[in-house]
Every structure is written in C-alpha cells, then in structure tokens.
Amino acid sequence: MPKAQRMAQMLTVAEEIFAEQGYLATSMDEIAERVGVSKPMLYEYFGSKEGLLIGCIHRARTELREKTAAAIAGAASPEEFLRLGLLAFFEFIDEHRRSWALLRQEAAVAVPSAQEEVEGIRQQQTDMIGAVLASFTPDIDPLEAEAFAEIVVGATERLAVWMERRPSVGPALATDYVMAVIWPGVDNRLRKPLSPARLA
C-alpha cells in the first residue's frame, strides 16, 4: 500500500483506539496489529507514539478549519458570524463524538508538543472570534478582545463536552445556549468598550 494511503489508515485506526481506551492505555503493538502492519511501520511514518497522536489532532484541526471557514463565509453581522462559527464547531464535534474527547483531553496530558497542536485548534477559534470583534469594533482594547475570545472559546469547548453527555442536545440547541449567555455581553461591549481605567 502506498505511503499516503497507509498513513491515513493509521491515523484513522489510531484515532479510534485512542478514543476507545485512552492514549496511555493504548500500545503501539495494538495499533499496528489492528492496522495489519508491524510496529516499526508506525515509527517509520510518525516517529513516536506522541507523533502519531499529534498526527491525529492535526488532521482533525485541518478539517475543522476548513468546515468553519466555509460556514462563516457569507456572514453579514457579527452576531451571524459568531452563530455560524459556533454551529460549525458543534456540528464538527457531533460528527466526531468518539475522537473528540480524546483529542482534546488526552492530548493535553500526554505531550507538550501535542499540547501545542491542541492550542493551535484553540488559536484558530480565538482568531475567528478576535476577527469578529476587531472588524466590527476596530478601537476595542486588544487585551479585552483577547479575553472575550478566550471566554467564548472556553464556554464553547465546555458545552461541547457537555453536549456529548446529553444525547437530547444537538448542535443547534447548544449554539442557542451559548449565544443566549454570551451574546448580550459581547454585543454590549462592541458598542461600548471597557474603559482603559479598569485595566490597572
């Protein structure tokens, strides 16, 4: 089997097993066996167990970026922008229920470099939020814009985890909830930024 195809297959299998059992509880031999190949092949293509994990995260990250970019393309107002972005995110999570928890949770513990990949995902999201704030309110305090973006990302991420435990809650309702809590405050600040005096 050609390299690219084999790598993709390895990522798929690894993502599944990692998600099932957790990163620590999974051995490279087990992944190799389920792929139908020997362990050194995994090392040939991904360098280490950590490298394999990073590969999984990276692929998910790329996919998420593409879907989000497509979703927000036609947004006209900051509210619509944010809503479409959140919805794309929750839909992505919904489709990847299995691997999601692992990739976020497990990755963080495992390795510093995996942590960077996960931070990369968050960076994409905070950048998106930052873009909303900055494009519609150019004179907003940068630190405050950053804080707001982090808050929105944190809220969204947490609700995504919660959504998994609540089968009755789908992407649309999750988006509604986040918007209901977040939007009044954000909208408020878009019109009237915090005064610099508070930034002691």
Partner DNA sequence: GCAGTAGGTTACTCGAAGTAAGTTACGAGC
Partner DNA sequence: GCTCGTAACTTACTTCGAGTAACCTACTGC
29 binds DNA (CB under 7 A): yes
Are the C-beta atoms of residues 83 and 171 closer than 8 Å to each other?
no
Spatial distance between the Cα atoms of 136 and 90, rounded to a whole number of angstroms: 24
Query: Would you call 158 exposed, middle or buried from its count of C-beta atoms within 10 A (0-12, 13-18, 19+)?
Result: exposed
Stretch that binds DNA, among 24-32, 63-71, 149-157, 163-171 (CB under 7 A): 24-32
The token pair at 133 is 């704030």
Closer to DNA at the Cβ: 39 or 98?
Answer: 39
186 binds a copy of itself (CB under 8 A): yes
| CA distance linking residue 144 with residue 79, whole number of Å | 18
**What is the distance between the alpha carbons of residues 92 and 90, in angstroms, rounded to a whole number?**
5
Interface with a copy of itself (CB under 8 A), residue from 105, 123, 124, 137 = 105
> What's the CA dihedral at 128, 129, 134, 137 to 10 degrees?
140
Residue 162's binding partner among a copy of itself, DNA, none (Cβ under 5 to 8 angstroms by kind) is a copy of itself
Applying CB under 7 A, the residues found at the interface with DNA are 1-3, 6, 26-29, 37-41, 43-44, 47-50
Q: Point out which residues bind a copy of itself (CB under 8 A).
A: 22-24, 104-112, 115, 143-144, 146-148, 150-159, 161-162, 166, 168-169, 173-174, 176-178, 180-186, 188-189, 194, 198-200
